[in-house]
């Protein structure tokens, strides 16, 4: 993607710079560089049709996958398979930067629809009520189920 095509969106308080869209990869994957300023938490959620992979660049991030907590720091990576509830959070008060790969590339269209665009060098604000409402309304269109709590263990 050329610098002119790179766009940054905010979703759940995270600035998400789209480096490659699904359109550019024939739907195989999408690639983001994400920045959390230290007080972000995604809802617990499940993707029906896509997987996510995280690679940490700087800082620390907690990934909770099927109730199991994983602390990620620079150089760490983790795979989050479709169909498995997960949540990402950075409550450290310090910035975290990480690469997110969505495969196939459903997630980039979701981010564009559920989030909002900001200048690439701008920080993200904490989610407003309108941001949360847009996220809740958009998620089902992309096979994402938002959960109010962790499902009971079977």
Is the confidence at residue 138, as pLDDT, over 80? yes
For each of the domains in the chain, give its residue range(s) and CATH number, in order of start: 11-144 (2.60.120.10)
Q: Between 74 and 152, name the one with better pLDDT.
A: 74
Asked if 124 and 84 count as a contact pair (C-beta separation under 8 A), the reply is: no
Output the average pLDDT for the chain: 94
| pLDDT, position 152 | 82
Torsion, CA 61, CA 66, CA 67, CA 70, rounded to 10: -30
- Asked if the bond preceding 104 is cis, omega within 30° of 0, the reply is yes
5 pLDDT higher than 90:
no
Lowest mean pLDDT among 14-23, 42-51, 66-75, 121-130: 121-130
Whether 154 and 148 have beta carbons less than 8 Å apart is answered as: no
Which pLDDT band, with edges at 50, 70 and 90, does 2 fall under? low
Q: How high is the pLDDT of residue 154?
A: 62
- How would residue 121 be classed by pLDDT, with cut points 50, 70 and 90? confident
* pLDDT recorded at residue 70: 98
Does residue 148 surpass a pLDDT of 90?
yes
Contacts of 118 (CB under 8 A, 6+ apart): 8, 9, 10, 15, 124
């Amino acid at each position: 993607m050329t610098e002119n095509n790179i766009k940054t969106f905010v979703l759940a308080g995270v600035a998400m710079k789209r480096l490659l869209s699904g359109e550019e990869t024939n739907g195989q994957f999408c690639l983001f560089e994400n920045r959390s300023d230290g007080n972000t938490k995604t809802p617990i959620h499940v993707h029906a049709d896509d997987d996510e992979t995280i690679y940490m660049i700087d800082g620390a991030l907690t990934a909770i996958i099927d109730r199991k907590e994983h602390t990620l720091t620079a150089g760490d990576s983790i795979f989050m398979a479709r169909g498995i509830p997960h949540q990402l959070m950075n409550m450290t008060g310090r910035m975290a930067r990480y690469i997110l790969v969505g495969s196939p590339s459903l997630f980039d269209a979701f981010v564009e629809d559920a989030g909002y665009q900001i200048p690439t060098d701008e920080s993200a604000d904490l989610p407003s009520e309108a941001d949360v409402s847009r996220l809740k309304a958009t998620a089902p269109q992309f096979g994402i189920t938002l959960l109010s709590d962790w499902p009971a263990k079977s």
